[in-house]
């Protein structure tokens, strides 16, 4: 079965016991941790910085951490998050004056680099930098808040990006962020995604093991559908 990665978004976790809640969701089958950084400038919300990421590493959270920078500017934060323990760092093309330079900065700091596309952001940025990307992220909601509804227009955008990736023969992951849940994850996977940021669609359940098991069944269905 092809690799599908679940990336629980800790924006929806219980912050009164964050480390323990993350350990529970990893034990249930979360592959990565998705770490949303919002600055109240690029998006209308304020979340968490590198000190929290470092505290999770110190708490023995060892899975890959995917840092999504919804900040403007971004460059000054990249070395801080890399030092704190990020594996992936992603940013929006609108948040930097020099996309290429920002991608190089991420790589120079030892992390994998990704570009994030808002629902209305055109894909033509990929024409110039796709060979430098380890990860492409499609926002399926407008960024800034959790617990939003998935935008169906994302599915056609996913299919376009999947074709672009396959045409390059590069090993690039395709991630979807926003409104992902048990009821739609199979269709999202079938449209080309292989990394799924999932927040309230996971953390709102009292038993993480049961919901992750159900999600994995949906992903298996999507995989079998794609090979037949």
Q: Has 178 been labeled as part of a binding site?
A: yes
Of 36, 39, 66, 134, the catalytic one is 36
Give yes or no: 36 in active site: yes
Q: Are strands 135-139 and 173-177 parallel, antiparallel or unpaired?
A: parallel
Secondary structure E strands in the chain: 5-8, 33-38, 65-70, 88-91, 112-117, 135-139, 173-177, 195-198
Q: Has 192 been labeled as part of a binding site?
A: no
Give per-residue burial for 97-126: e unless 16+ CB within 10 Å, then b: eebeebbebbbebebbbbbbbbeebeeeeb
Q: Has 206 been labeled as part of a binding site?
A: no
d(CA 28, CA 30): 6
Q: Has 147 been labeled as part of a binding site?
A: yes
Give yes or no: 177 in active site: yes
Q: Has 177 been labeled as part of a binding site?
A: yes
Question: Beta partners for 115?
Answer: 91, 136
The answer to whether the CB of 146 falls within 8 A of the CB of 9 is: yes
Q: Has 144 been labeled as part of a binding site?
A: yes
Q: Has 134 been labeled as part of a binding site?
A: no
Q: Has 36 been labeled as part of a binding site?
A: yes
Q: How far apart are the first and last CA of the chain?
A: 13
Q: Has 200 been labeled as part of a binding site?
A: yes
Of 39, 66, 134, 177, the catalytic one is 177
Residues that are catalytic: 36, 177
Feature table: binding site for a divalent metal cation: 34, 36, 68, 177
Feature table: binding site: 9, 34, 36, 68, 144-147, 177-179, 199-200
Feature table: binding site for substrate: 9, 68, 144-147, 177-179, 199-200
């Amino acid at each position: 079965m092809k690799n599908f990665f679940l990336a629980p978004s800790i924006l929806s976790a219980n912050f009164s016991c964050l480390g323990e809640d993350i350990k529970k969701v990893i034990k249930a089958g979360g592959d990565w941790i998705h770490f949303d950084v919002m600055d109240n400038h690029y998006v209308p919300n304020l979340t968490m910085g590198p000190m929290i990421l470092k505290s999770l590493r110190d708490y023995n959270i060892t899975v890959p951490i995917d840092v999504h920078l919804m900040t403007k500017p971004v460059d000054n934060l990249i070395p801080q998050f890399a030092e704190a323990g990020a594996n992936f760092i992603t940013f929006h093309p609108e948040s930097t004056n020099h996309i290429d330079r920002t991608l190089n900065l991420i790589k120079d700091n030892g992390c994998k680099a990704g570009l994030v596309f808002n629902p209305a952001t055109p894909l033509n940025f990929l024409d110039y930098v796709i060979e430098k990307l380890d990860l492409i992220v499609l926002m399926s909601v407008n960024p800034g808040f959790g617990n939003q509804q998935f935008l169906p227009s994302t599915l056609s955008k996913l299919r376009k990006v999947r074709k672009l990736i396959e045409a390059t023969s590069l090993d690039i992951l395709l991630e979807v962020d926003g409104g992902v849940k048990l009821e739609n994850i199979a269709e999202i996977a079938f449209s080309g995604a292989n990394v799924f940021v999932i927040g309230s669609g996971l953390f709102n359940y009292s038993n993480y093991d049961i919901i992750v098991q159900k999600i994995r069944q949906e992903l298996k269905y999507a995989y079998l559908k794609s090979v037949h």
